[in-house]
Structure 1
Amino acid sequence: MIDLTETAQNAVKSAICTAAQPVTGLRIMVEGGGCAGFKYTMGLAEAPKPDDTVIERGGIKLFIAKDSCAQLAGTTIDFVVSLKSSGFTFDNPNAKSNCSCGRSFS
């Protein structure tokens, strides 16, 4: 369903280790909005919501919002560090187009 590159796994593990509150995984979802119509949302989570799909990648539990599963199927998440900016990027085969920000799609 969703893949995390090794770089993304390391970034998430680092965030989990330094979190102020207990964290068991990363919640990922798609919401309406952003430059292109939909945007990716991620955040550390204490536990999955009742209707989340839970998968594990590289020892990290991913909590995928039920309504986002189809839109995220086959997506690879990476973490990129560059001079301009650093952050997570999404390679989503379901996206018809992507915004230049890399965080929204249609």
Structure 2
Amino acid sequence: MARQMPKAISLTEAAAARMKEIMAASDGKYIGVRIGVKNGGCAGMEYTMEYAEAANPLDEVVEDRDVRILIDPKAILFLLGTEMDYEEDKFASGFRFNNPNQTDACGCGESVTIVPATA
């Protein structure tokens, strides 16, 4: 029997609700949101999010809470076990990544230090 692989990323109820609002406003133009990481910022890496009109051949597709997320294949090991949340307060709102592979973050919260997940 094959071992079930954990999802690369999961969504909180708040993140799923906000993603559904965003996707509903796109009038069906997008199939989901692609999440990745890139080099940048003072801590070394930044999370990326963009609308996806189609899945790339090597994307990892995650369906969680009726939301489709496509993970850039270069980012999978950096995102394993991550929970994506959405927070709103008086001064700011946005998606937050609760990533067990994150070891540090810059003071402004724009960039992070992430190590690849281990087996």
TM-score range relative to shorter protein: over 0.9
Name the structure 1 match of 2:49.
42
Q: Which amino acid aligns with 1:47?
A: A
TM-superposed CA distance for 1:101, in Å, is: 3.5
Write the distance in 1 (CA, Å) between the matches of 2:85 and 2:106.
17
SS in 2 for 1:16: helix
Name the structure 2 match of 1:9.
16
Q: Percent identity?
A: 39
Q: Which amino acid aligns with 2:61?
A: V
Asked if residue 80 in structure 1 is aligned to residue 94 in structure 2, the reply is: no
Q: Which amino acid aligns with 1:4?
A: L
TM-score (norm 2): 0.83
Q: Which amino acid aligns with 2:104?
A: S
SS in 2 for 1:26: strand
Write the distance in 2 (CA, Å) between the matches of 1:11 and 1:61.
13
Contact 1:89–1:103 under 8 Å retained in 2: no
Name the structure 2 match of 1:24.
31
For structure 1, the residue ranges without an aligned partner over 5 or more in a row are none
Q: CA offsets per residue over residues 28-83 of structure 1, 9 Å max, x none?
A: 00000023110001122111111111110111111000000000001111000011
Q: Which structure is larger by alpha-carbon Rg, 1 or 2? A: 2
Write the distance in 2 (CA, Å) between the matches of 1:84 and 1:33.
25
Write the distance in 2 (CA, Å) between the matches of 1:101 and 1:72.
21
Contact 1:90–1:102 under 8 Å retained in 2: no
Q: 1:20 to 1:102 in 2, by over 3 A?
A: farther
For structure 2, the residue ranges without an aligned partner over 5 or more in a row are 1-7, 114-119
TM-superposed CA distance for 1:20, in Å, is: 5.5
Name the structure 2 match of 1:69.
76
